[in-house]
Structure 1
Amino acid sequence: MPDSAPAPTAVEFGRLPDGTAVLLYTLTNAHGLRATISTYGGTLTSLLVPDKTGRPGDVVLGFDTLEGYQSPEFRKANPYFGALIGRYGNRIARGRFSLDGQPYQLARNNGENSLHGGNQGFDKVVWDAVPGLSAAGQTLRLTYLSPAGEEGYPGNLRVTVVYTLTADNALQIDYSATTDQATPVNLTNHTYFNLALGQQPDVLAHVVRLAADHYTVVDDDLIPTGELRPAEDTPFDFRQPRAIGEQLARVPGGYDHNWVLNPEAKTLLAATVYEPTSGRVMEVSTTEPGVQFYTGNFLDGTLTGKNGVRYAKHAGFCLETQHFPDSPNQPTFPDTVLRPGQTFQSSTRYRFGVRV
């Protein structure tokens, strides 16, 4: 990026009930992409991406005002639009785990289970922000200290998340964390995408490919059983491009499952999504071993977002790069425990283009 390029600037997005100011930063590149991020929850509130005609459009679900993320309707539905998720993304069975012989009880905020960090996860805190520039593009560096005992987790966890909007049309998210006591860590982002938002009311025609031969089987509460089942000849087989709606009816409740990424996905692409109406393509690459593919099953039309768009069932999809759900209770899953002296590091890129 040229030395003369400006760093992102901030405007006030609003204030929380306690008076805390929330800022909104906008990152841009030379090709018409524009990402807007709130310090509340580190939330990606808007992402403008050109379509096949060159016309930019917002491809993520969210709200124009901070009040949208604070409304009773939003808090009741709690869809985590665009937010950073921690200390542990996804579910932990019964909100319990043991670590080094010590039992821990977390907040149960999803039936009997803990979900996305608990009642006051990283999606509901105000992050410290420093805008900047890198060789790749404009950046926003967010930091948060999660104190020991927050939501029941051990250790003081220092978290840094850097958003970068690159010259090659990618939104890159780099995560890092350190701790002074062993603790589970599973950080991700919960953006809902609709590559034809405003043109198509749902994402069922989006064509998805996932570089995953297996998925984690779950029980009725969406807790993994421990089985990694082959996706072949099931509705979970996205090894070849398939429309989201093609076999959705065969999945009770809709897709809300973790796919086990193939080893080569770390050097190739974890996922590709194509939307025929707009021609937009999104390519996802990650260092994580899994991706939670969620099809907005719990959206019910009670939330109205940007430009008056009502978010009904399947209005957006998520590709949450992550470690597997309930890993603290699943010894055969990749380890999620971070210990003093170690640094958690993870990187995910959402790169955009078009097919004409």
Structure 2
Amino acid sequence: MKIVSGEFGQYQGEKVYSYKLENNQGMSITCITLGCIITEINTANQNGEFENVVLGFDDVDSYIEKSPYFGAVIGRVAGRIDKGEFDLNGETYTLPQNENTNHLHGGPEGFDRQLWQASTFEKEDEVGIEFSYRSKAGEAGYPGNLNVRVTYILNNQNEIVVHYFATTDKDTLVNLTNHTYFNLSGNVKQDILSHELTLKSQKVLELNESFIPTGKFLDVANTPFDFRDGKKINDAVSSNDPQIKLVGQGVDHPFLLDENHNEEICLSDEESGRKLIIETDEQSVVVYTSNMLDDSFTIRDVQSSKYLGICLETQGLPDSIHHPEFSPCILKAGDEYKTTTIYKFTTK
């Protein structure tokens, strides 16, 4: 087990540092202090060849100018907040609108654009890094000073364990996730349309024309959103279902998870033999098939395009502050927000 650190670049006059965590099997994860961004995850295919399985860049400017949240921690609130406002304890809070009238992923200066403090630790069977950030009261319009910690741990079972913690001095909203785009083909040799996704989920949230949840849970049976027995991504995104067409001929929807910490999310690629198992204590996962990616930039040496990666964003339900029937994403003063997601990489 080892950790290698270095300088990644500069942002707003301050240094951005990178940290590469490597286990005894040769698997590694590299992340940076800008946005807790995961820039690379190198894992073996069925032939033992190590390749990168996430989308990312090698310089700060690309993340700032081009990145659709590649690999970043999203906060204070993942997903969209309708009309960029909410009421809490009798007060109305106005947030910046950065997607039409929506407040998206914490706004234009969300956690993905912040520099985090980092400290590393090494144990016999795992290595890790803890990022910390203090989001001051009023940042992006949110109430309360929020102290956030995010920990990435790599162990010898080829698992990346992600812990999220937060405390506040005033009731506020918190719903954190990681926005990594996975592509198990290795070094982005092809798109993710032939990847197979399996979800333990019977319900998906319906979206309106602004991509905001209507509040209606749809039964996935006999729809392109039924991944319970495994389905290739292409079989879903090629559908004429109105919800598929709504988000640009793809998936960008929250799925309610039936189980937790029991292989509830599985992604596999037959050609490389790679398999990713995700377990979480969150109630939902937002599946995004990168249907909004365009060809206006390159990802390292690969031309960006639709369906080049898939995001599996474990989180609370989006826009829950406007839906009393959802579990709220309200963190009360004095309480602790705490959640864990585990990513296990293996081969078939």
For the aligned pair, the TM-score class normalised by the smaller chain equals: over 0.9
Paired with 1:270 and 1:112, the residues of 2 have a C-alpha distance of 33
- Aligned mate of 2:326, from 313, 333, 336: 333
Q: Give me the whole-angstrom Cα distance separating, in 2, the residues matched to 1:198 and 1:82.
A: 15
The one of 248, 255, 268 equivalent to 2:251 is 255
Are 1:299 and 2:293 matched, yes or no? yes
Query: Equivalents in 1 of 2:334, 2:48: separation in Å?
Result: 48
Structure 1 residue ranges without an equivalent (≥5): none
TM-score of the superposed pair, with normalisation by structure 1: 0.94
Report the RMSD for the aligned CA atoms in angstroms. 1.1
**2: CA distance, partners of 1:247 / 1:283:** 20
Q: Verify: 1:103 aligned to 2:98, yes or no.
A: no
1:21-36 aligned within 5 A: 21-36=15-30
1:28-86 deviations in Å (ceiling 9; x for gaps) = 10111110001001000001000000000000000122222133xx1xxx510000100
Question: For residues 29 and 231 of structure 1, do their structure 2 counterparts lie closer, same or farther at Cα, with a shift above 3 Å needed?
Answer: same
- Shifted more, 199-208 versus 281-290: the winner is 199-208
CA separation in 1, counterparts of 2:280 and 2:186? 24
Offset, 1:267: 3.3
2:335 aligned with 1:342, yes or no?
Answer: yes
Rounded to whole Å, the distance in 1 between the matches of 2:262 and 2:71 is 25
Could you say which residue in structure 1 is the equivalent of 2:10? Answer: 15
1:181 and 1:269 map into 2 onto residues whose CA distance is 36
Aligned residues of 1:64 and 1:305 also touching (Cα < 8 A): no
After superposition, the Cα gap between the structure-2 partners of 1:246 and 1:126, relative to the gap in structure 1 and judged at 3 Å, is same
**1:91 — aligned with what?**
80
From 285, 289, 293, the equivalent of 2:283 is 289
Q: Does 1:205 pair with 2:189?
A: no
Counterpart residue type for residue 46 of structure 1: E
Whole-Å Cα distance in 2 between the matches of residues 336 and 135 of structure 1? 36
Cα separation, 1, equivalents of 2:215 and 2:319: 9
The residue aligned with 1:243 is 232
Q: Say if 2:177 is the partner of 1:188.
A: yes
Cα deviation digits, residues 274-326 of structure 1 (max 9, x gap): 101100000000010000000001111222122x1112111000000000110
* Structure 2 letter corresponding to 1:106: L
CA displacement, residues 164-188 of structure 1 (integer Å, 9 cap, x when unaligned) = 0111101111000000000110000
Q: Indicate yes or no: 2:274 matched with 1:280.
A: yes
Matches within 5 A, 1:63-78: 63-71=57-65, 74=66, 78=67
Residue 321 (structure 1) aligns with = 314
Aligned residues of 2:53 and 2:188 also touching (Cα < 8 A): no
The answer to whether residue 297 in structure 2 is matched with residue 312 in structure 1 is no
Identity %: 38
The structural deviation recorded for 1:198 is: 3.6
Cα deviation, 1:212-253, whole Å, max 9, x if unaligned, reads 100111101110000111111111110111000013122112
Residue type at the aligned position of 2:344 = R
Q: Give the letter aligned to residue 304 of structure 2.
A: Y
Partner of 2:141: 152
Question: Alignment partner of 2:157: what SS?
Answer: coil
Please give the residue correspondences for 1:116-127 in structure 2 after superposition, counting only pairs within 5 Å: 116-127=105-116
Q: Distance in 1 between matches of 2:17 and 2:188?
A: 29
Q: What residue number does 1:165 align with?
A: 154
Equivalent in the alignment of 1:55: 49
Matched, 1:41 2:35: yes
Does the aligned pair in 1 maintain the 2:186–2:272 contact within 8 Å? no
CA drift at 1:199: 5.6
The question of whether the paired residues in 2 share the 8 Å contact of 1:201 and 1:312 is answered with no
Stretches of structure 2 lacking an aligned partner (at least 5 in a row): none
Partners of 1:120 and 1:203 lie apart in 2 by 29
Is contact 2:64–2:113 with CA below 8 Å preserved after alignment? no
The SS at the match of 1:68 is helix
Distance in 1 (CA, whole Å) between partners of 2:325 and 2:136 is: 29
Cα distance in 1 between the residues matched to 2:256 and 2:29: 29
Q: How many residue pairs are counted as aligned between the two chains?
A: 341
How far apart in 1 are the matches of 2:123 and 2:172?
31
Amino acid at match of 1:285: E
